Structures are given as structure tokens and as C-alpha cells.
Amino acid sequence: MDNNEFRHWSVKAAEWGVDYRTGLRDRPVRPDVKPGSIFGAVAASAPEQAEPMEDIFADFEATIVPGMTHWQHPRFFAYFPANAAPVSVVAEYLVSAMAAQCMLWQTSPAATELETRVVDWMRQALGLPDGFTGVIQDSASQATLAAVLTMRERALAWQGNKAGLSGQPRLRIYSSDQVHTSIDRAIWVSGVGEDNLVRIPTAGPNRAMATEALERAIAEDRAAGFLPAGIIACVGGTSVGGTDDIAAVARIAEREGLYLHVDAAWAGSAMICPEFRHFWTGVEGADSIVFNPHKWLGAQFDCSIQFIRDAESLVRTLAIRPDYLKTHGHDGIINYSEWSVPLGRRFRALKLWFLLRAHGLEGLRTMIRNHVAWSEKLAERLRREPGFEISSEPMLSLFSFRHVPGAAADLDQHNLDLVERINRDGRIYLTQTRLDGRAVIRFQAGQFEATEADVDHAFEVITEIARAG
């Protein structure tokens, strides 16, 4: 592809993207395809000779797009959003064109220094104190792994990386059952082991860790010869928004000398609104915090910010400095590859810089406030509708509900069938979870371009399909 062809196809791709986003409401949110159908439509072997771009692009439109779930659809109410505001997409065009490897300051000085600046913009926007610095990770999973590795090393006096875990005291890490499964994976990969992740029972409407049970578990583990290393708390858990009492947990962590990591991957974006910060009161006592601007805030995936109270502990855990990765003749610079597990790094800060400047914090606050209000309104409409019950009250823009018709013998199966019928219909997209052992249906409003009419439409679809049986 020469430069003229590059220009032509770049313009065509950008124009296609605009048309795609414009027409999303006319597409089903989730495709109605059978497993293996796309695999079978793609050639079994790569071509030996070059093929025309016209043919490749045509196959993309005919084969790939019809098999995609449309995460930017305004009626995507499943999981959590993976928003890509149009201005963020534009920034990603530029990042892709430059294709920089941003592992060190010297390999992309502007990428490093912009990352430092926009992370601090976000620190201020979330109301976090000056003592926090941060890094843009690819996902909350990587941020949590980095935090678990750091709590492991700190507990083992920085000997885990060097000596391994064999012969060391058995570490213990504490969380509730409301945390995301990325915590389980971090425990596996870190070598701490699933048996050493201690699940603390939850209590109250927020499904928060019971702090007395947490203190008791720590004391019992110390008495049994285990080595408590850290606590992972959550704000806005994935299932139904479980939220720990961060201030109470932070006091325990400080008293016990444990590392505290707070997972606010989804809900953290809402903390740009001061009225929602009560959900993480005491967060300044955390050692690290993660939130994903690529969820609710509108920065295209991947863009996850990890705030750190003591950056030196993170760097001491993760930094490897062979001679070929040293930047000679410069002191005091940041090499962000030393702050994360992967060495390679994309230029993630650019889309966040574009996004914050193009929308402003107040524009983003308005979006989040609208989503919360619209979700609360939908929960109230369903509560009043015969045959429906609200299973978990709204946590920001997330709640769960259950259809309970008198004729259903197996309500769990009935609700699982209902969510599948809704999704096959294609007009909206929901997901299910289990709450207190029962199948319930989740709803969250969070797509960047959703309107109140889209949320109202969800009520019509849900009730229509439930009545149809």
C-alpha cells in the first residue's frame, strides 16, 4: 500500500466509522448468529498472493460486521459500558498512525509526559489528594495484578521476586465475594494461590465486607501462622454494585500494616461528580486505586488508571533495568514500563487528553448524572409494574430485577429464559447474575450516546417480552 492508497483507505475507514455509529440504532445490539458461522465463512488458509483492498473491505462489511456485538449501541445495557466517544476514536486514529512503542521516556517523551499530566488531571477531577501519582494500565486486571504483586513483595520484605514463594510464610489476602474475578486471576498469577484468598462475608444494603469478620479473619490467620499481606476492597462491584466501607477497611489496613487496593473500575468514573464521592469515603487511605476511563468516561479501550500512594513500592516490585533499557544522561525521568507488568506500552494518554478537552469535566458529569437518573427512573417503573420486583436497589446506574409471574414453577429458569429472549430480540442487550443464590437480571445505563428515550425503550421491550411469555 503506497501513500496514495493509504490516504484513500484511511478516509474510507473514517467515513465508514461515522456511518456505522450513525446507524447503530437500526442494528440489533447482539447478532443472531450460530457459533462457528463466521469461522466457517473465513478462508481456511492465508492467501499466498496479495488481494485487492476492495475485496478485503467488502468481506469485512459482509462477514465480520454482521457477527459483531455492538458495544457502542445506545441500547447496550449489559455488563458495563466500553465507551468510545467519537473524539477518543479520532485520537486513536492518530495513535495508530504513529504506532509508537511508549515503554521508556526516550522511546516517546511526549507520551510519557502527557501521561503524567493527564493522570494528574484525573486525580484532581476525582478529588484525590496530592500524594497520589499514577499510571495508565491496559485494564483493571493488570492494575490489580500489579497491586497484588506489590502487596506480596512488601509482606515478604521484597524477597518474593528473588527467592520465590517456596519456603516463605503462606500469604493471605482478603476480599468479599463481590469483587471482580480479575482479583482471582491476580491471586493465581502472583503465586499467592486461590486457597489464600480469604472471602469475607458481606452485610447491609451495599453488600459491604463485614469489618468485624475481616478483623477476626486477620487475627485468626496470624494465630495460625499465616502472613496477612493485603486487602482488596471494591466500589461498585460488577454483579450488583457491591460497595465496601472504604474508610472502615482503610483503618483496619493501617492498624494491621496491610496493603489496601481499591477496585473502582466502573464506579470510579462517577467520582468526578462530588455528590457521588460518599461511595468511597476514606479512599485517601488506600495504597492503590484503579478505575477505567474506558468504561463509563468515554475513553476508548484500553485505558485504565492506577493511582498509587507510594510509587517506589510499585517500581521496586516491577522494574527491571538491563543496560539496553536505560536512559543515560537523564535523572528523575519516569519510564512507565517500570510501573506495569508488560514492557510494551501503547500511547494511551492521547485519547484521554482529547476526551477531557473536547467534553470538559462538566460535560462528562452531565452524562453520568443523566445515566444515574434515568436508571433510577426505570427501576421505579419496573417496581410499579405487576409481576416485577427490584432485586437490588440502584447503585449509581446499576440495579437488578426479577420477573415473578404467578404461573412460573422455576423462577430462576424463567428469568434466565427471559433475558435470553430479550437479547435474541435484539432491540436492547441485558445480562444476568446471581444474587443470594437466585437468578436476576442486571440493568445498567452507561453508553456514551444513550438518551432518556433509549432507557424508556428498555422498559417497553422488557415488559412486552415478559408479557408474551
Q: What is the pLDDT along the chain (469 residues), one digit of tens a residue?
A: 899 999 999 999 999 999 999 999 999 999 988 999 999 999 999 999 999 999 999 999 999 999 999 999 999 999 999 999 999 999 999 999 888 888 888 888 889 999 999 999 999 999 999 989 999 999 888 999 999 999 999 999 999 988 888 888 999 999 998 887 788 889 998 888 899 999 999 988 899 999 999 999 999 999 999 999 999 999 999 889 999 999 999 999 999 999 999 999 999 999 999 999 999 999 999 999 999 999 999 999 999 999 999 998 998 898 876 554 554 444 568 888 889 988 888 889 999 999 999 999 999 999 999 999 999 999 999 999 999 999 999 999 999 999 998 777 899 999 999 999 999 999 999 999 999 999 999 999 999 999 999 999 999 999 999 998 7
Model pLDDT, residue 323: 53
CA distance 183 to 148: 9
The 3-state DSSP class for residue 469 equals coil
Closest CA to 223 of 148, 158, 172, 160: 172
CA distance 353 to 121: 9
**Residues near 115 by beta carbon (within 8 Å), at least 6 away in sequence:** 102, 135, 136, 336, 348, 349
> Residue 76 pairs with which residues in a beta bridge?
429
CA distance 440 to 433: 6
